[in-house]
Amino acid sequence: MQDGSNTAPRPTGGAAEPTAPQIGDPASIHVIVGSSRARVVLSGEIDADVSADLGEAISDAEASGLPVEIDAHHVTFMDSSGVAFLARLASRSPHRVRVLRAPPTVRFLLEVTRIGELLEIVDDDPGVDLDVTTAPS
Going residue by residue through the chain (137 aa), what tens digit of pLDDT does each one get? 444 433 334 333 444 444 555 556 789 999 999 999 999 999 999 999 999 999 999 999 999 999 999 999 999 999 999 999 999 999 999 999 999 999 999 999 999 999 999 999 998 766 455 554 444 44
DSSP 59: H
The helix-helix angle for 80-92 and 104-113 (nearest 10°) equals 70
pLDDT for the residue 83: 96
Q: For residue 57, count other CB atoms closer than 10 A to its CB.
A: 25
pLDDT for the residue 124: 76
Q: If you classify domain 25-127 with CATH, what class do you get?
A: alpha beta
pLDDT for the residue 8: 37
Residue spans of the domains in the chain: they are: 25-127
